[in-house]
Structure 1
Amino acid sequence: MRSERFEADYLVQTPEPIEHAAAVIAGEQSSGTFIAVPNETPELKERSAARVEHIEVLAPATGPALPGRYQGSEFTQARVTLSWPLDNIGADLPNLIATVAGNLFELQGLSGLRLLDVRLPDAFASVYPGPKFGVSGTRALSGVDQGPLIGTIIKPSVGLDPAQTAQLVTTLIDAGIDFIKDDELQCDGPRCPFDARAEAVMAVINRHADATGKKVMYAFNVTGEVDQMRRRHDQVQALGGSCVMASLNSVGMTGFLGLSRHSQLPIHAHRNGWGYLSRSPMLGWDYRAWSKLWRIAGADHLHVNGLDNKFSEDNDSVMRSAQSLSTPIFSQHPQRAMAVFSSGQSVKQIEQTYQRLGHADLIYAAGGGIMGHPDGPGAGVSSLREGWHAAMRGIPIATHAQQHPALVRALDAYQ
């Protein structure tokens, strides 16, 4: 791709000739509209119009994926690549989203459309920071040099007050946890105000760090308006904290950029709401495209779901998402974002997760997989560590468990 253009790949379904449908998308998302206008001269189109770069026709569909007003009963599916001049928007992530994922989803002639991938020129790397901490920075702050960070989520998600939250954190720290996060539903409610929760939790974490030299990483949910997020970040930093969390789909790209440009801590980027962007196979975003933009904007950790999870996503999709985070976008962004595996995770998914991913640069966040261990959370953490120890050394977990009672009990409990 020439450096002065950016590209996007789509999965398109249409009852119209695919060449016409692709041209309509290109026109709608650049210089065209539903009718020719006087100022759209050949010179302007040459300078500013989107281009159809490639069309790969796939197997036809048996019917429309989405409701609409369609003429005809045959529906073509194709992979389509479009490109735009960088001069249309400049290196601008919010307006990039408007260009590659704007009105095109509503076009009458499309019975399905999914954004699969984007490729951007180096100009974006010069404007946006990328992950400031990523894998190596997270390891340095958490003191976990190798293997996954064994993590968990505060549960119940809501309902605990600051003192109760701190007491649960004490239990988890005593169990040997590496990473804890607020649930995305808990930020600054009257029962558990952010300021009081941060003070209570960090008092526990700091006492433990003073005694042992290990500071557990806690991702405080700072989601809010930009000024609120920055103030909450500053409080966490002043208290000695080492991570903040934001719900990406709640704060949006400009809100996230307002936080990431300000932040001096790793940002745990939560994807809650991802289902409404992705669950239909012929509508919305593929994770590869979506996560690229947040990585460029400065996300240090990104959720990818987990194998055999409680949601609707299948295992192949989970692993494609996780593997995509290991692929560099720009050479100027050396830090890789850290994948976060969560949702019903326990010892039973460890072996397959490691074999399919091929590395352990991840946060393995287990709620019930720790707290639900029959011998308590300490045994829960121990069982996960031993499971990962075995997987990373190519030892069958069942074999390794013969010498580790906590792992045996976990394998029996999480069948």
Structure 2
Amino acid sequence: MSSAGLLVARDPALYAWDDALREQDYLFACYEITTTVDGHAAALGMAMEQSAATSHIAGYVEPTMLLGYSIRVRMVRSLGQAVPVVGSYQLDTPVYGAAAGAGAQRYQIELAVPLRLLAGKPAQLWNVVVGELPRLGYLTGFALLRADLPASFGPGPGFGAEALLAWSAHGAGPLLCRSMRPAVGVDEATMARLNHDVLLGGFDIVKDDELQVFADFATFASHVRAMLVARDAASAATGLRKRYIANLICEPWELAERWALVCELGVDGVLVAPWIQGMGTLLQLARQRRMPILAHNTLGELFSRNPGWRVAPAVLAQWLRVLGADLIVTDGDFGDTPGDADAQAALAAARAPQGECRAVLPILQGGKQPDGLPRYRAAIGSDAYMLIVASWVDHHPDGIATAAAQFRAAVDGQPAAG
């Protein structure tokens, strides 16, 4: 301990950045925290908590063993006073030191995380870069602002925006997709008719809703086959290839069998829920390069929506891209509410040049209508996006097929993107 009662590591050099270290061996994670202790002490505690907090055990552990495994503090910058988001508490462990009496202060901190701690595994990425940091009692505000994965961490999108835009009859976006609503209580034949008619009217794609539930494999298989029959009938009637994206949100023991089936039957794409199923599920399927993968946003806003306690949307988008997502979902009001810096940062993370890593196709959803098309284009900066539309076509007074045709006409009637 120091005379001020704040944490001092027994081996401070073990947790300090050294310019002699190789940057390519590290992931640089930038945090914004509010804390009741000095910012340097807080950063040191964060580094120790998430790597090698114990550097000496007599007869067993020496600090030289840990040189390549310790997280290093690279930067601490004061941002002034702040209002705590959550309460603080104190524990008697090496990463706490003694409590400080100062009011809450805000800091930006950069930690250098050895890539060997992550081992190329998505679960370990969460475990190390976030892990138990939010439970440190002296952190009263927490945000992971940046932690760019190297492209080598994952396969990247197997198909990406360019290939997906070819799903349009015109080879350009926006793609029109209807999510299968209502997600529950509708029999298979009715859902197949809904899909057929909206595709016949001019939509490019139908997708399972994330809330659809299949009690067993037989129910899932029957549903998928029925939706494919509807897809193929609409393709034959229009002379245009229509698409179907199947729901693979399921338990770990169900995934392999369901994945094998959709690959065998010729499903066009699948949706998974990385924030529920784990990002490793996305990585596992993406490595196979069988079909495009929609990384659904369900549960995701729990990580990002509170600005004082979160993982920034741009971080989540960049991770999904590197791990193999071909499509990701934008914020619910994206395209309707201008000037959302978080949403634009996430969009940039999904599309900005990153070596050979393909761009992800963004999805806009949530009450989208034909008269919003100029706003959606302005928000995206092009027509390279997918629109998921259900409410507008479902509630149209002239029926779903007519509504789909009108939305199709609105898309086709737009002036070419500049």
- The reply to whether TM is greater than 0.5 is yes
CA distance in 1 between counterparts of 2:30 and 2:116 reads: 20
- Equivalence for 2:7: none
- Equivalence for 1:325: 350
Letter of the 1:352 counterpart: R
SS at match of 1:375: coil
For residues 57-90 of structure 1, the C-alpha deviation after alignment (integer angstroms, 9 at most, x for no partner) is: 22421x3101232754621112211112223333
Match of 2:117 among 88, 95, 118: 88
Q: Indicate yes or no: 2:388 matched with 1:381.
A: no
SS at match of 1:359: coil
Q: 1:56 to 1:144 in 2, by over 3 A?
A: farther
- Equivalence for 1:223: 249
CA distance in 2 between counterparts of 1:72 and 1:390 reads: 64
- Equivalence for 2:265: 239
- Equivalence for 1:355: 378
For residues 359-383 of structure 1, the C-alpha deviation after alignment (integer angstroms, 9 at most, x for no partner) is: 1211111111222233333443344
With normalisation by structure 2, the TM-score equals 0.83
SS at match of 1:185: coil
Letter of the 1:328 counterpart: P
CA distance in 2 between counterparts of 1:224 and 1:332 reads: 31
- Equivalence for 1:403: none
- Equivalence for 1:412: none
With normalisation by structure 1, the TM-score equals 0.84
* Structure 1 contact 5–83 (Cα < 8 Å) conserved: yes
- Equivalence for 1:66: 86
Q: 1:244 to 1:394 in 2, by over 3 A?
A: closer
CA distance in 2 between counterparts of 1:379 and 1:60 reads: 57
Letter of the 1:302 counterpart: I
SS at match of 2:109: strand
CA distance in 2 between counterparts of 1:328 and 1:40 reads: 44
For residues 132-165 of structure 1, the C-alpha deviation after alignment (integer angstroms, 9 at most, x for no partner) is: 1111222334545112101121111211121111
Q: Indicate yes or no: 2:190 matched with 1:164.
A: yes
CA distance in 2 between counterparts of 1:239 and 1:45 reads: 50
SS at match of 1:47: coil
Offset at 1:192? Answer: 9.7
Match of 1:32 among 49, 53, 58: 53
Unaligned runs of 5+ in 2: 1-21, 91-99
* Structure 2 contact 32–142 (Cα < 8 Å) conserved: yes
- Equivalence for 1:9: 30
Q: 1:385 to 1:87 in 2, by over 3 A?
A: same
CA distance in 2 between counterparts of 1:306 and 1:323 reads: 17
CA distance in 1 between counterparts of 2:276 and 2:374 reads: 34
CA distance in 2 between counterparts of 1:390 and 1:55 reads: 53
SS at match of 1:132: coil
* Structure 1 contact 131–299 (Cα < 8 Å) conserved: yes
Q: 1:28 to 1:186 in 2, by over 3 A?
A: same
- Equivalence for 2:74: 53
SS at match of 2:295: strand
Q: 1:353 to 1:144 in 2, by over 3 A?
A: same
CA distance in 1 between counterparts of 2:382 and 2:334 reads: 19
Letter of the 1:3 counterpart: Q
Q: 1:216 to 1:72 in 2, by over 3 A?
A: farther
SS at match of 2:387: strand
SS at match of 1:77: strand
Match of 1:97 among 120, 126, 132: 126
